[in-house]
Structure 1
């Protein structure tokens, strides 16, 4: 019964029930979709304030602006290197397994009406232009950054406010205390919303299985398995090696963030895990300023799962449509995807929109081939979102370790809270024994054995 009280166990149970409902009563399962949609909407409601309070609070207390600039440069370099590795892993695995061979999907631009509408909608939201991308970072007003729901404008405003506070505010300024209180309130609100995560996971998973069912899963099962294998290789080989170089075990990191990873898995959205991930990483020994800067930035610049999705999708669609890509074309496409993969918070469906933008920018594959991925996008999004969460968590741990802003004792306590509580009790017991009534008049005598 104690195990059932854990949030990630409740989410796993909800997912299992949703899969069963989707297979047994698909029509009823599809009608559960509003539960998942509503839960994601609730989380998006608090996403902007959480990013604002976290980033501003961290920067306002950092003090050293040269250190902040150093963290920023290291973070962006790390993001580009790891994102490139994610694309390389995805493309290599798909090229070796070749799940699209034999499909012969000569679709050209001729699609069923429903698929054509979906492609057009994807392009409407996914057309990429570097100038437009950079300009959208700057919101129309300070308030509009929180209205539109995009992470980058909120992050931009938060950094500016944090820098201003760090220069102008005194340590005892009432504004800093209000900032602390506001952060406490927003995280309390988050705790209420997270109690609904099993319900949200149930609705999202039931709708996915009920809508796309076993026929689609069987039809493209080889590609689904290939993609999941790519995600596992990337997590344990690439991220595991990066974590090991920084002195971490990837298995221990996964143990720390297991609840957040399961929430991302159940809702197929890494956005759903972001708010709780902020608190968890800080609790696990990461510096608050690093968490507040690296994690929100990672949700726009280090979307490892989306990079993996796009590279795997590119290779699969080329094989499925019998399109031969030269090495130069493949590398140019991967280079374009390094740009088109940026932005967005990792919501379900975001990766296929980015892939649509890439195919429209570099016309070497028939755009209509995207219809092959629409039916299984939700199934793929489970691995995509989970990879995003794990990748950004590893980034925070690594940057903290590089900057010597990591507390190993808190990390170990987060891994084994029962042992940490027992050690704290044992440490407190001798002090209580040594404190004698006769020493109360002279406190210095009670502080030494």
Structure 2
């Protein structure tokens, strides 16, 4: 029993179940426990910016081949764009087929304060030029301090390219950065010990604040979103995995601890550092992981893309707005821009949805009030889909580059059963 409780996966599951129970039985107390999840996410965000900077710089700088950097980056971005478009399209198709917003009684839904979202949407420009300008930091240090993901990536890529061009002269810097990176991952391992407490607080808050009954009124939309994301992961990502000769179900089982962490915190960023380590153990090269995973957190948010397309059409259906096929295609084009750069943190999808509707006046932006009560529940599904999507992307690019080494895959269950004196890396014989 003690050995079982020492397993992080088991502790996170226990935290989630206790959180649901406390939120249901003591709703007022449960609603106050959100601070536990907030503290944990702040701790994770504290190290995200430097980890992304160092991993991208190390990944590019250690290659020593600028053609290789451009090749990996180009393949990754092309893959991201194709898969994200599939995610947006499948969301539009399913929401039009199931029509969860049709006949929705808007007057029966308690509106929320959406002024903060509409203000941000009104002040945001999401054109191509403003998107490009937003990538370039005015001050690299300020971007790192503010945790601005896209500017950090841009600066890290330039830094890494410069190091790669220097060759052996930069070897000592690469070695130093690797040691610093290990320190930050050590900090992450310390923070992870508190993840069951964070999962407990997050679930207690959600159930205590919104109640079990909050799922009923928008259950059809939630069901549609879950079904769509399931179909996307199993069939779209499953087909991609089959093409590149690995099994999507086994891969999901392999990253189950990271998925449970995301389930508890509703933030795909909370699992980013551990996910990178897991992908390297799975067989992906360090250089590909260091470049593809952080980039994917801005350009390959499949779950967020599905949520945005379905939520926008749901609001149109709820207000009785009948969109033509060309208007929906236009909406898809806008979403292809606005979905890029949405951070994998709770609530960012909501802000992006408000910005999208502000740029698409046919759908009333105030309609996002309909989603205030259940956005939290859907954020968990989209964060998990984002995590799986980025993991698959990294494996695919590694295989494209012939930098996937299955001989380094570790069967951790078997490894734990080997006595410490005899413990060696146990190779998993089958990946697919």
**Shorter-normalised TM-score: what interval?**
over 0.9
Counterparts of 1:333 and 1:373, CA distance in 2: 19
User: Offset at 1:404?
Assistant: 0.6
CA gap 1:171/1:277 in 2 versus in 1, 3 angstroms? farther
Alignment of 1:162-173 (within 5 A): 162-170=160-168, 173=171
Q: 1:421 to 1:161 in 2, by over 3 A?
A: farther
Compute the displacement of 1:381 (Å): 0.3
Q: Distance in 2 between matches of 1:201 and 1:348?
A: 13
User: Any conservation in 1 of the 2:262–2:383 contact (CA below 8 Å)?
Assistant: yes
CA deviations on 1:97-126 (whole Å, 9 max, x unpaired) are 22222214379xx995x4342442452575
Contact in 2 for aligned 1:125/1:353 (Cα 8 Å): no
How far the C-alpha of 1:421 sits from its partner, in A, is 6.5
Identify unmatched segments of 5+ residues in structure 1. Answer: 429-449
Q: Report SS of the residue matched to 2:160.
A: helix
Aligned residue in 2 for 1:90: 91
Q: CA deviation at 1:29?
A: 0.6
- What's the secondary structure of 1:62's corresponding residue? coil
Q: Does 1:13 align with 2:14?
A: yes
The residue correspondences of 1:293-308 to structure 2 (distance < 5 A) are 293-308=291-306
2:68 alignment partner in structure 1: 67
Structure 2 CA distance for partners of 1:15 and 1:121, relative to 1, 3 Å = farther
The CA deviation at 1:127 is 4.5
Q: State how far apart, in whole Å, the 2-side matches of 1:74 and 1:415 are.
A: 31
2:106 aligned residue: 105
Aligned length: 423
Match of 1:274 in 2: 272
Counterpart selection for 2:178 from 177, 180, 195: 180
Residue 407 of structure 2 is matched in structure 1 by 409
Distance 1:247-1:25 versus aligned 2 partners, 3 A rule:
same
Q: Is 1:396 paired with 2:394?
A: yes
The two structures have a TM-score, normalised by structure 2, of 0.92
Which protein has the larger Cα radius of gyration, Structure 1 or Structure 2?
A: 1
Structure 2, unpaired ranges of 5+: 426-432
Residue 313 of structure 1, aligned match among 305, 311, 314: 311
Distance 1:210 1:185, change over 3 A: same
Is 1:210 aligned to residue 211 of structure 2?
no
Q: In structure 2, how many angstroms separate the alpha carbons of the residues matched to 1:416 and 1:84? A: 37
Which residue of structure 1 aligns with residue 42 of structure 2? 41
Write the deviation string for residues 177-233 of structure 1: whole angstroms up to 9, x where unpaired. Answer: 212211111111111011111111111221112111123211111111111111111
2:428 is matched with which residue?
Answer: none
- Tell me how far apart the structure 1 counterparts of residues 313 and 278 of structure 2 sit (CA, whole Å): 36
The residue aligned with 2:363 is 365
Describe the SS at the equivalent of 1:214: coil
Contact kept? 1:105, 1:369, Cα under 8 Å? no
Deviation at 1:150, TM superposition (A): 1.4
Residue deviations 1:227-252, cap 9 Å, x none? 11111111111111111111110012
| Counterpart position of 2:415 | 418
**Compared CA separation, residues 142 and 27, structure 1 to 2 (3 A):** same
Cα deviation, residue 266, structure 1:
0.8
CA, structure 1 residues 392+14, in 2 after alignment: closer, same or farther (shift >3 Å)? same
Aligned twin of 2:347: 349
Does the 8 A contact of 2:338 with 2:355 survive in 1? yes
Distance 1:240 1:294, change over 3 A: same
Q: Give me the whole-angstrom Cα distance separating, in 2, the residues matched to 1:174 and 1:426.
A: 32
Task: Tell me how far apart the structure 2 counterparts of residues 416 and 23 of structure 1 sit (CA, whole Å).
Answer: 35
Instruction: Indicate if the aligned counterparts of 1:283 and 1:414 stay in contact, CA closer than 8 A.
Output: no
Q: Distance in 2 between matches of 1:303 and 1:115?
A: 27
Q: Secondary structure at 2:294's aligned position in 1?
A: helix
Q: Distance in 1 between matches of 2:98 and 2:159?
A: 49
Equivalent residue for 1:145, pick from 139, 143, 148: 143
Superposition pairs for residues 186-201 of structure 1, below 5 Å? 186-201=184-199
Greater shift, 396-405 or 166-175, is seen at 166-175
Q: 1:180 & 1:366 partners in 2: Cα distance?
A: 49
Shift in CA distance, 225/165, structure 1 to aligned 2, threshold 3 Å: same
